Amino acid sequence: MMDESLDSQMTISMGPQHPSTHGVLRLELVLDGEVVVKAKPDIGYLHTGMEKLFEYKKYQQGIVITDRMDYLNPLGNNLAYVMAAEKLLQIEIPPRAQIIRVLMCELQRIASHMVWLGTHALDIGAMSPFFFCFRQREKILNLIEAASGGRMTPSYFRIGGLMMDLPAGFERRVKQFLEDFPAAMDQFETLVSGNTIWQSRTKEIGYISKEDAIDWGLTGPCLRGSGVELDLRRHDPYTGYETYDFEIPVENDGDVWARFRVRMRELYESAKIVRQALERLKPGPTKADAPKVVLPDRDDMRKHMDSLIHHFLIVAEGFNVPEGEVYMPIEASKGELGVYMKSNGGPKPERVHFRGPSFVNLSALPDMSEGELIADVVAIIGSLDIVLGEIDR
Amino acid sequence: MSTDFAREAIEKLRSENESWITDVKDALGEFTATVPASAIVEVCEKLKNEHGFDLLADLCGCDRGPEEDPRFEVNYHLFSTVHYNRVRLKVLLSEDSPNVETVTTVWKTANWHERETYDLVGVIFDGHPDLRRILLPSDFDGHALRKDYPLRGYEPYSLT
């Protein structure tokens, strides 16, 4: 009896309630001893029908839904959504709004990577980096809260610009954060990167080749960890990213360690972009000159009749978007976040589809984890940096 | 982004075989080619192997409404990691036969995208290795993103 059970393969279910699956993900693992023979992800536990909901909401109402997809990178989701609508409407955004968008998105990227680093380390068994990471993230969430009023659900970007301008003293607070950040990074490099246990847990694990990575549609740090230099901020630029000076970190090993290094190096680049954006920040309008689309300022509404009428019409009836379809990709913290938006001329979109980077990156998990030890599956999931809210939508 | 490479590639395909591309559209800085359902695999293979469109960025279905014919469309968003160009391929499908050949033979990433499209829109991808529902439960009735599917759903998953 004993011998028989030792010979045969075993199927176990990892999740849906498992701390290292970063949400409600179920993995069906066929094991031979400790080696994974077959892995089958099972998703959909968090499906809330957001894409259906978009079709019943006016364009500006859809922004708050996007916050709840990738909840670690809500400003990135906002950006992709509003830029798709702006592309259909063909609205030009004033320079100050563009710069603030870049600034906020890069801060959000740092915050998202902080959660990734903390939880990735926690999964593998290093507990203290988690607290240090969340301390840094907290500072950024405070900044986002100061600008938008929301910490996890900012909805700060609106179609045609921003919700409102940055509050007084915001630049000083960002500068303070940037001053403290290098010391925090040094701490992470010592605690995590320089740790030999960490290195032996991550090196030569979860390998994926350059060709396979493209074939599986990987994007973002996962693709760059396999030696492909592709960053949409450089190669398909939006919101003026082409004018910023930053490097694209690329590692050639294609394993968990390589993906880890790419994200760590990206953190420095993001801080560099934030610094440049701060330098460029000049006073100016933060909303596009499109009265039929952009909500007027409160002050305007009290003084001008036409502003009041526009405000009423936008809130009550929405605005019509010309017929057409666009696919708007951005480089989110996890990879290419694409929004496919189709309009049939009315105030509500006909179809909104989100191409979530986590969704696509997770589909490559069986390819990476088959043949590895079961304990390493945890490390591989961490290196993919998935958010189930975006996968299930 | 320029669409020069996309346009060139589609023109080349068109000169190779007239029936592969039925319509092209260049709007809002994006290049769209309509491809008949029977030719999609061949066109994708050619674009991938000969023209450098090696990354399938996205694949999504869309229901235009029950009164439209053809009712469904499937959009393939291709990206080239060599030329940094994008092209959209569009396949139109009627309600009676929402079938199109799978492109999982060309890109592995198409697997989950096609499952999602099948799940939510009800397009059937012939030859797909594992065409099951992915986001909704396996006993779910109907396809949620169809226009005639009510927002609050039917029993037993109804929200009313």
What pLDDT is stored for residue A271 in this prediction? 93
What pLDDT is stored for residue B152 in this prediction? 84
What pLDDT is stored for residue B159 in this prediction? 65
Q: Which residues of chain A have pLDDT under 50?
A: 1-2
Averaged pLDDT score across all residues of chain B = 88
Rg (CA), chain A: 22
The chain A residue lying nearest B143, using CA atoms, is: A52
SS percent in chain A: helix, strand, coil, step 5: 55, 10, 35
Q: Which residues contact A101 (CB under 8 A, 6 or more apart)?
A: A79, A93, A157, A162, A239
Q: Nearest-CA distance from A188 to chain B in Å?
A: 33
Q: Exposed, middle or buried, B69 (CB in 10 Å: 0-12/13-18/19+)? A: exposed
Flag if B56 and A217 touch (Cβ within 8 Å). Answer: yes
**Confidence band, pLDDT 50/70/90 cuts, at residue B69:** confident
Query: pLDDT exceeding 70 applies to what percent of chain A?
Result: 98
Task: Give the three-class secondary structure for A56.
Answer: coil
Q: Exposed, middle or buried, B27 (CB in 10 Å: 0-12/13-18/19+)? A: exposed
Residues of B in contact with A49 (CB under 8 A): 144
What pLDDT is stored for residue A135 in this prediction? 92
Q: Are strands A324-332 and A335-343 parallel, antiparallel or unpaired?
A: antiparallel
Domain boundaries, chain B: 4-97
Secondary-structure class of domain B4-97 per CATH: alpha beta
What pLDDT is stored for residue A1 in this prediction? 44
Q: Which fold has domain A50-392?
A: Cytochrome-c3 Hydrogenase; chain B (1.10.645)
What pLDDT is stored for residue A7 in this prediction? 65
Flag if A338 and B62 touch (Cβ within 8 Å). Answer: no
* Backbone angle region of A160, left / alpha / beta, with phi > 0 → left and psi within -120 to 50 → alpha: left
Residues of A in contact with B1 (CB under 8 A): 236
The chain A residue lying nearest B145, using CA atoms, is: A52
Domain boundaries, chain A: 2-42, 50-392
CB B35 within 8 A of CB B62: no
In the numeric block, which tokens belong to residue B124? Answer: 């059937």
What pLDDT is stored for residue A14 in this prediction? 86
Q: Rounded to the nearest 10 degrees, what angle do helices A95-124 and A74-89 cross at?
A: 150
Chain A neighbours among B 35-64 (CB < 8 Å)?
A: 54-58, 60, 62-64
A326 vs B28, B55, B107: nearest CB:
B28
Rounded-to-10 torsion of CA A375, A184, A220, A369:
-10
Q: If we measure between CA atoms, which residue out of B114, B10, B1 comes closest to residue A328?
A: B1
**pLDDT, tens digit, 9 for 90 and up, residues A254-306:** 899 999 999 999 999 999 999 999 999 989 898 888 888 898 888 888 999 99
Residues of B in contact with A360 (CB under 8 A): 109, 112-113
CB B79 within 8 A of CB B51: no
The chain A residue lying nearest B48, using CA atoms, is: A215
Residues of B in contact with A367 (CB under 8 A): 108
CB pairs under 8 A between A and B: 98
B85 inside 8 A of chain A by CB: no
CB A202 within 8 A of CB A383: yes
Q: If we measure between CA atoms, which residue out of A33, A22, A51, A27 comes closest to residue A393?
A: A51
What pLDDT is stored for residue A23 in this prediction? 76
What pLDDT is stored for residue B28 in this prediction? 86
Residues of A in contact with B81 (CB under 8 A): 214, 228, 230
Flag if A214 and B54 touch (Cβ within 8 Å). Answer: yes
Is a pLDDT exceeding 90 seen at residue B10?
A: no
What residues does B124 pair with on adjacent strands?
Answer: B99
CB A171 within 8 A of CB A100: no
Residues of A in contact with B144 (CB under 8 A): 49, 52
Task: Give the rounded distance of the alpha carbon of A110 from its chain centre.
Answer: 10
